[in-house]
Amino acid sequence: MTDLSLWASYITPLLAALWLHVRHRRHREAWARACLRRTSEAGLTEPVSLHPVVDPRVCMGSGACTRACPEQTLGIVHGKARIVNPTVCIGHGACAAACPTEAIRLVFGTARRGIDIPYVKPDFETNVPGVYIAGELGGMGLIRKAAEQGRQAIEAIARNRARTGQLDVVIVGAGPAGLSATLAAIEHKLRFVTLDQEHSLGGTVFHYPRNKVVMTQALTLPLIGQVRLKASNKESLLEFWEAVVARCGVPIQFSERVERIVAVDRGYVVRTTRAEHQARCVLLAIGRRGTPRKLGVDGEELPKVVYRLVDPEQYRDRHVLIVGGGDSAVEAAIAVAAEPGARATLSYRGETWSRLKDRNRERLVAAQTAGRLTVLLNSIVQHIGEEDVELRQNEQVIVLKNEAVIVCAGGVLPTPMLREVGIHIETKYGTE
């Protein structure tokens, strides 16, 4: 073999590998630029929860973050990682963990849109000693991370336990964070009580529409270990949780709403609609949607007005108005529109959909195209009557026959209760 052919035998595979790498990278960049252009043109530039911010001075454009993100939030543009699909980010943080140069940090809010977040320390204790916050109330809506926060908060409480005649902790909420915290309390042999204002397990998840996919990654729970429930829908997750409660003998007091938390000597008294519970610590594992945001219009007090969709079947053969512009509103509208005989109308005050996942956007267009769903953008509910609703769209007044109204406008942070306890609330504008 001549020297030339020897060199060729080494260089040819290397050149082929380099060509494939460059081709793949160009393909990824073309996709990222196209995605960024679509979201910018649609005005979908504001992340809705915890999200990554990339420092271009540190980013080396390896693409590790884009491969780690299951939602395709990030892309490589001009050799650097960048958020190209902001509204689909769910804040799981896999991108930051995958970054080899630590160029990514996770933040709440943006310079234009602030988010109110209660102050918590790394161990999830607030500025008020003995009061902890985990899960959605603290800004973490992702089920896996909420569960992890509940576990870590209980571990912090267990480390500082003091033998007194009172409970170690009152856990408020039986959603992902509250259930995980309860299992951890059992594991650490704490004296506790778990309360939930709802009549069933699941917290916010319980009120999701039927068949909504709620988990895409593995979950780790105290006493149980790692659970692989990838692409699980609402029903399968709730069924799993109920099995866990039965298997571990988890005590949860349902239909008991907390009304006030009062500081006393060496702890707190938690006053509820049923009783008073005295404990050394309190863990608030409640959602941000516990108090629905209302429209503030005449007729909203009518029985036909609700703030979440539980079972679409009850709206068969009925005229239904759904109000809201987020994923929950669109999912509710699509579910109602799919019921036989239902006449569904979706009202949103914005000019465009600024917070929708791509899949929901596609399903929305399909429902409109099929004539199952009427969408009124730039519309505001003016009045709710016994048999109709009045909306204003631009300068036009629209009156629709109506038998039910579903308001999906998010929830109001329980700020008065938090401030009464003394918890500081920070407005995050793109900060950690």
Q: Which helix (H) or strand (E) holds 302?
A: none
Distance of CA 422 to the CA centre of its chain: 26
191 alpha carbon, distance to own chain's centre: 30
Same-domain pairing of 103 and 138: no
Distance CA 84, CA 280 (A): 46
**Distance, CA of 426 to CA of 203 (rounded, Å):** 24
CATH of the domain at 83: 3.30.70.20
> Does residue 378 share a domain with residue 271?
no
AA letter at 424 = H
Please tell me whether residues 280 and 135 are part of one structural domain. Answer: yes
**Residue 178 shares a structural domain with residue 209:** yes
Asked if 176 and 278 sit in the same domain, the reply is yes
Together in a domain, 139 and 209: yes
Based on the fold, state whether residues 166 and 264 are members of the same structural domain: yes
Half-sphere CA count of 85, side-chain side, radius 13 A: 20
Burial degree of 246 (CB within 10 A; 0-12, 13-18, 19+): exposed
Per-residue buried b or exposed e for 71-96, using 16+ beta carbons within 10 Å of the residue's own CB: bebbbbbeebbbbbbbbbbbbbbbbb
Query: Does the pTM exceed 0.85?
Result: no
Task: Please give the Cα distance from 343 to 334 (Å, whole number).
Answer: 11
Q: What is the pLDDT along the chain (432 residues), one digit of tens a residue?
A: 566 777 777 787 888 878 877 787 788 888 888 888 887 776 667 776 778 899 999 999 888 998 888 778 889 998 899 998 887 776 667 888 889 999 999 888 777 777 778 889 999 999 999 999 998 888 766 778 888 999 999 999 999 887 777 899 999 998 889 999 999 999 999 999 999 988 777 666 665 656 665 555 677 888 888 877 665 667 777 888 888 888 888 899 988 989 999 999 889 999 999 999 999 999 999 876 656 788 999 999 999 999 888 789 999 999 999 999 988 899 999 999 999 999 999 999 988 886 677 788 889 999 999 999 999 999 999 999 999 999 999 989 999 999 999 999 877 778 788 889 999 988 877 666
Same domain, 391 and 304: yes
Residue 302 and residue 281 share a domain:
no
Q: Which domain-ending residue is among 80, 107, 134?
A: 107
DSSP secondary structure letter of residue 339: S
Tokens of 323: 């109000």
Strand pairing class (80-83; 74-77) = antiparallel
By the 10 Å C-beta count (0-12 exposed, 13-18 middle, 19+ buried), 25 is classed as middle
For residue 267, what is the domain's CATH number?
3.50.50.60
Query: Domain end: 88, 107, 126, which one?
Result: 107
Same-domain status, 178 and 246: yes
Do 45 and 120 lie in one domain? The reply is no
CA distance 377 to 313: 26
Domain span at 61:
3-107
Task: Provide the pLDDT for residue 32.
Answer: 87
Residue that the structure tokens 């160029």 belong to: 103
Q: What integer pLDDT is reported at residue 302 of this predicted model?
A: 95
Q: Which residues of 314-339 are buried (b: 16+ CB within 10 A; e: fewer)?
A: ebeebbbbbbbbbbbbbbbbbbbbeb
Q: How many domains does the chain have?
A: 3
Which amino acid, 409?
Answer: A
Tell me the DSSP string of 11-66: HHHHHHHHHHHHHHHHHHHHHHHHHHHHHHHTT-----SSEEEE-TTT-----HHH
Residue 264: is it exposed, middle or buried by C-beta count within 10 angstroms (0-12/13-18/19+)? exposed
Same domain, 250 and 350: no
**Which residue, of 67, 88, 107, is where some domain finishes?**
107
What torsion do the CA atoms of 28, 30, 32, 33 make, to the nearest 10 degrees? 160
For residue 51, what are the contacts with CB-CB under 8 A and spacing of at least 6?
A: 73, 83, 86, 89, 91, 106, 107
